[in-house]
Amino acid sequence: MVNSRTIEVWVGIFITIAAMALFILAMRVSNLSLSGEADGFQVTASFNNISGLKVRSAVTIAGVRIGRVTAIDYDPQDFSALVTMEIEGRYDQLPSDSSASVLTAGLLGEKYIGIQPGGADENLVQGSKITLTQSAIVLEQLISQFIFSKGSAQ
């Protein structure tokens, strides 16, 4: 017969492993990381509408995550959202005339920044500003434009 103490130890080990697995899963789902990315550089971009973009949202090129949104502020000079992004250091060859767009993963998914590389010889560096931007497409605005355009055509 198996000792009840042995069973208790194995149950404890199982619960500890399960708790660690749930913690790691929660970190991945919430876009958090256990390791720091200290070798990156920060760039900024202004958008008229970021519609649901959040700090820690992904920054991608061709679907590959190259960084994260680190801050979102309001710029009272030009009434826009100023987005600060941390780009990983290994992606330091981005042309300075690259463009940034607020995109949606799927029809109603989370927002992220998509970078489209330009063709300039100079590269983005610490403190650069991406000037070519495209704001988020707001589904509610598209629907209302469609409804009102159909109403005025009758």
Neighbours of 81 (CB within 10 A): 20
Is 110 within the bounds of a domain? yes
In a domain, 25, yes or no: yes
As for how many domains the chain has, the answer is 2
In a shared domain, residues 89 and 109:
yes
Residue 105 tokens, joined: 């993963």
Domain that holds residue 87: 41-143
pLDDT for 89-133, tens place per residue?
899 899 999 999 999 887 667 899 999 998 999 999 999 999 999
Same domain, yes or no, for 24 and 47? no
> Residue 151: inside a domain, yes or no?
no
Do residues 18 and 46 share a domain? no
What is the tens place of the pLDDT at every residue in 15-34?
A: 999 999 999 888 777 656 54
Specify if 149 maps to a domain. Answer: no
Do 1 and 46 reside in the same domain of the chain? no
* Under 8 Å between Cβ of 115 and 128: no
28-84 per-position pLDDT tens digit: 776 565 455 558 899 999 999 898 899 999 999 998 999 999 999 999 998 999 999
Q: What is the predicted pLDDT for the residue at 106?
A: 75
